[in-house]
Amino acid sequence: VRTVPDAALVWRDGCILWSGPRTLLPPEHLHADTVSAGGGLVVPGLIDCHTHLAFAGWRADEFEERILGRSYLDIARAGGGIQRTVAQTRAASEDALFERCASHLREMAALGVTTVECKSGYGLDVEHEVKLLTVYQRLSATQSLRIIPTLLAAHAVAPEFGGRRNAYLRLVTRDIIPRVVHAGLARFCDVFVEEAAFSLEEARRVLAAASALGLRAKLHADQLSDGGGARLAAEVHAVSADHLEQISADGIACLAAAHVVAVSLPFAALYLGARPMPARALLAAGVPVAVATDFNPGTAPSFHLPLAMTLACTLQRMTPAEAFCGATLVAAAALDRHDELGALDPGYAADFAVIDAPDVETWLYHFRANACRQTWVGGQRVH
Ligand code: NIG
Ligand code: FE
């Protein structure tokens, strides 16, 4: 991370033209309109590269049950967990979900976030997966943050299928994926690879169908158990492998060899009382590590990305600079957008935040409700 004291940033038409020390500003920019950052720290807009933004309800009662000793999987097996949120999300109208997401996005913008990856996965049938992704499409068209939609139909087997896993997978591969792709509603396809969710073989089927129609893979991998999810991410050239709390040494080597970005989700580890992702081992092996919130109603009930960055430092021993890159340029790489988003260099989008701190270390160390003073997306002030 390079900090430039007394810096200038020049942009036009939403795109950065020049950045560097103010004294070196090229003469052609001397007469441009100016805005002052008031002595604040100007950083690339934060990128939350893993959220489950659209859902109805919360599961605070399960939070309490887990504190009292019941496990996430026990609660899920008894009909709680993802299935409970699916029932509530199916019952919610598209407009109600839209309003709720819009309000979350306004608060995220206030924290300095400018791009948000948004997964479906609480619909689990054609109608409701399309409903969630349509919410994201409408948000993309009507509010200022950049939205990157991901299809996560393989989050759980839909309740009406009971144990008929193959029938549900047929629905996903033959109906949901084609519908979503033809409507242009998703950029990536994610699968929850886990003993309690989908096997490696099932994930391969889903990802093959998605890839045939142009969706690149992202994976929820090795979260609750090491099921070989990281190896699969490497095999299918996923853009990212996320969670990885239980990743094996072999999994780390596979991600490194295949240049897959590892996405760390410290809130999920914190709220489940689980061991966090071994970020140091991944970084030592040369795997880029992004940091995201995993915002969802069950395991990560917060979209406070700066706090997730601080937790990446305290729980995973990432340096503040590593956590900062993890929520900017590396997060952009986890969305395959690192040529346009996540840096303040010429050619990048003019997405940035003004932080009330002298440097990144102080920002992530001195935790405050909100240290962000201004947020800009595409050269327009949004907060
Ligand atoms: O990323 N791991 C799977 N999906 C979510 C949790 C979903 C839920 O519990 O509602 C996650 O942690
Ligand atoms: Fe997640």
Where residue 377 falls among pLDDT bands split at 50, 70, 90? very high
299 CB under 6 A from ligand 1?
yes
Which residue has the least CA distance to atom 1 on ligand 1?
Answer: 294
Question: How does the average pLDDT of the chain come out, rounded?
Answer: 98
What does the pLDDT average to over 118-127? 98
242 CB under 6 A from ligand 1?
no
Tell me which of 66, 82, 152, 270 to substitute to probe ligand 1's pocket, judged by most ligand atoms within 8 Å of the beta carbon.
Answer: 82
pLDDT at 81 over 90: yes
Tell me which of 83, 194, 267, 296 to substitute to probe ligand 1's pocket, judged by most ligand atoms within 8 Å of the beta carbon.
Answer: 296
Which residue has the least CA distance to atom 12 on ligand 1?
Answer: 299
How far is the centre of ligand 2, averaged over its atoms, from the C-alpha of 287 (Å)?
20
Q: Give Cα 307 distance to the centre of its chain.
A: 14
Query: pTM for this one?
Result: 0.98
258-274 per-position pLDDT tens digit: 999 999 999 999 999 99
Q: How far apart are CA 153 and CA 371, in angstroms?
A: 36
pLDDT at 366 over 90: yes
What does the pLDDT average to over 350-359? 98
Where residue 339 falls among pLDDT bands split at 50, 70, 90? very high
220 CB under 6 A from ligand 1?
yes
Q: Which chain residues have CB less than 5 Å from ligand 2, an ion? A: 294
pLDDT of residue 260: 98
Q: How far apart are CA 26 and CA 143, in angstroms?
A: 34
How far is the centre of ligand 2, averaged over its atoms, from the C-alpha of 119 (Å)?
8
Percentage of residues in the chain having pLDDT higher than 90: 99
What does the pLDDT average to over 288-313? 98
- Asked if 139 and 176 touch (Cβ cutoff 8 Å), the reply is no
Q: How far apart are CA 168 and CA 17, in angstroms?
A: 49
pLDDT at 342 over 90: yes
What does the pLDDT average to over 13-34? 96
pLDDT at 1 over 90: no
80 CB under 6 A from ligand 1?
no
How far is the centre of ligand 2, averaged over its atoms, from the C-alpha of 171 (Å)?
22
294 CB under 6 A from ligand 1?
yes
Which residue has the least CA distance to atom 3 on ligand 1?
Answer: 192
pLDDT at 2 over 90: no
How far is the centre of ligand 2, averaged over its atoms, from the C-alpha of 11 (Å)?
34
pLDDT of residue 77: 94
How far is the centre of ligand 1, averaged over its atoms, from the C-alpha of 101 (Å)?
17
Tokens 């996430």: give the residue. 72
Burial call 195-222: b when 16+ CB within 10 Å, e when fewer: ebbbbeebbbbbbebbeeeebbbbbbbb
What does the pLDDT average to over 27-47? 96
CA of 298, closest atom in ligand 1: 9
Tell me which of 51, 66, 220 to substitute to probe ligand 1's pocket, judged by most ligand atoms within 8 Å of the beta carbon.
Answer: 220
Collect all residues with Cβ–Cβ distance below 8 Å to 354 and sequence separation of at least 6.
37, 38, 40, 41, 42, 372, 373, 374, 375
pLDDT of residue 163: 87
138-159 per-position pLDDT tens digit: 999 999 999 999 999 999 999 9
pLDDT at 375 over 90: yes
Which residue has the least CA distance to atom 9 on ligand 1?
Answer: 298
What does the pLDDT average to over 61-67? 97
Percentage of residues in the chain having pLDDT higher than 70: 100
264 CB under 6 A from ligand 1?
no
